[in-house]
């Protein structure tokens, strides 16, 4: 996994956009990839912090 953007901090929020790459193991029902195929996908996480701890995700 690699961070593409961020972390971005604003008030009590921290966010980051990431990319995951790997090899599909065939265990996710409905996936379009074949087992052993190289895959990648992007995601974004936003956290709300309170007193230095993650309060909400």
pLDDT of residue 14: 95
pLDDT of residue 3: 87
pLDDT of residue 5: 87
Written as six digits, the tokens of 10 are 């604003």
Taking the chain (57 residues) in consecutive chunks of 10 residues, what is each chunk's mean pLDDT? 88 95 92 92 95 94
Contact call for residues 36 and 23 (beta carbons, < 8 A): yes
Q: How many residues in the chain?
A: 57
Contact call for residues 25 and 34 (beta carbons, < 8 A): no
pLDDT of residue 28: 87
Q: Nearest 5 degrees, angle CA 40-CA 44-CA 49?
A: 145
How many whole angstroms from its chain centre is CA 5? 11
């Amino acid at each position: 996994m690699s961070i593409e953007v961020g972390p971005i901090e604003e008030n009590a929020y921290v966010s980051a956009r990431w990319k995951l790459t790997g090899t599909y193991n065939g265990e996710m029902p409905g996936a379009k990839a074949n087992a052993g195929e190289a895959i990648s996908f992007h995601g974004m996480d936003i956290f709300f912090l309170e007193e230095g701890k993650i309060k909400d995700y």
